[in-house]
Amino acid sequence: MKKLLCVAFALLLLTGCEAYPKRFSATYTDVFDTVTEFTAYCGTEEEFEALSEAVHGELKRLHEIFDIYNSYEGLDNAKALNDAAGKSVEPPAELIELINSGKEWYTLSGGKLNIAFGSVLSEWHHCREEGVLPDPVLLKELAEHCDISLVKADGGNIALGDPNMSLDLGAMAKGYAAQKAAELAESLGGKRFALSVGGNIVTRGEKPSGKWEIGIQDPDGGILTTVKVAGEAVVTSGDYQRYYEVGGVRYHHIIDPDTLYPAALWRSVTVIAENSADADALSTSLFLLPLEEGKALAEKFGAEALWVSPDGSVIRTEGFSDYE
C-alpha cells in the first residue's frame, strides 16, 4: 500500500501543472475595434504570458489584414483591395480564404450575407456617426455596386470587377480570427482557455470546476440564459449591440440587403457551433433569415441556435437546451 501511495504522489508531482492549473487573464483593446479577453488555466504565469502574447500577435496580424479603414506598409489588406477596385491585387492567403468563404456564405444564406455589401454598410456607418438617416435614393444607387459575382479570385490574386464596389468583412472576420488564434494557442500547448473577441467566444477544454459558462444577454438587459460549453464557439448577433436613434426610432447595424434597412425579424440570435468562423457567419445569416430557413441552415452545420423575437418570445433548436 505504501508503495502505491508513493507512486501516486510521484505522479502528482510530475503532472502538477496539469492537475492544479492557475487561472490567468489578459485583455486587449487594439484588435477588431472591440474588447478582447483571453482566459486560460496554466501551470505558470510564464506559460500563460507566452500563450497570451501569441494569441494577441495572431489577432493583431489578422486585424491588419482584414482592416477596411487603415493601410499598413507593405501589406495589401482589405482596404488596399477596396482602394484598388477594378484592378487585381495579390493579398495575403488569409484574406483570399475569407473572401472565398464569404462567397460560399452568400450562396448558403440565400444572398443575405454579402461581403460585397460594403458601399451600403459604409453609408449607414457614416450616417450613424452623424446621427442622421441615409437617403433612400442613395442607398438604392449604392446597392447597384454589391454584385458578389464580380469578386474574382484567380490563384493568388483578387479583383473587384466593379470600380465602385467595396468589401465589408465584419460579419465574418472576428469569428475567423478567433478560430485561428485558438488553433495557434492549441498548437503551443494551450488546453483550457476561453477567447472572446468582442463577444465571439471560442472555448477549449474545461475549467477545473467544469465547463465554461457563457451568459447570453437579454436584448432588453440582463442575462437571458447561460450555456455551458467545452470546445465549442458561442456567437450572438443582436440589435442592441451597435445602434443609434433618430426621432425616437432605433436603427441597428445589421442591414438587410433586400430592404437596405436594419433587419426586423429578430432582436438577437445566438449560435453554438464547433467552429468560430461558422458560428459568426451563422449568427448574422440567421438574424437575417426567417425561422425555418435559419433552422435548416443551422442543422446543415450541426449547430444549435436561440432566437429572441421582437415580442420577447424565445425559440430554440432542439439541442440548444442541452447546453443550458
- Give me the DSSP letters along 151-200: EEEETTEEEESSTT-----TTTHHHHHHHHHHHHHHHTT--SEEEEETTE
Which of these, 314, 289, 308, 310, lies nearest to 300 by C-alpha position?
289
Share of the chain above pLDDT 70, in %: 94
> Is residue 54 domain-shared with residue 200, that is, in the same domain?
yes
Which three cell numbers, joined as nine digits, stand for 318? Answer: 432542439
> Looking at the 3D structure of the chain, how many domains does it have?
2
What's the pLDDT band for 155 if we cut at 50, 70, 90?
A: confident
Q: Are residues 94 and 33 in the same domain?
A: no
Q: 271: domain CATH number? A: 3.10.520.10
The verdict on residue 94 lying in a domain is: yes
Question: Do 298 and 187 share a structural domain?
Answer: yes
Burial bucket for residue 75 (CB in 10 Å: 0-12, 13-18, 19+): middle
User: E strand or H helix at 82, and its extent?
Assistant: helix 78-83
pTM recorded for the entire structure: 0.91
Q: Return the pLDDT at 21.
A: 86
Q: Distance between CA 83 and CA 98 in Å, rounded? A: 18
Cell 479583383, located at residue? 159
Beta strand 223-229 pairing with 233-238: unpaired
Question: Same domain for 60 and 184?
Answer: yes
Torsion of CA 186, 191, 193, 198, to 10 degrees: 20
The CATH code of the domain that includes 114 is: 1.10.3980.10
Structural domain boundaries, residue 121:
83-160
pLDDT in tens, 82-111: 999 999 999 999 999 999 999 999 999 999
174 belongs to a structural domain: no
Do 59 and 88 reside in the same domain of the chain? Answer: no
Per DSSP, the three-state class of 33 is: coil
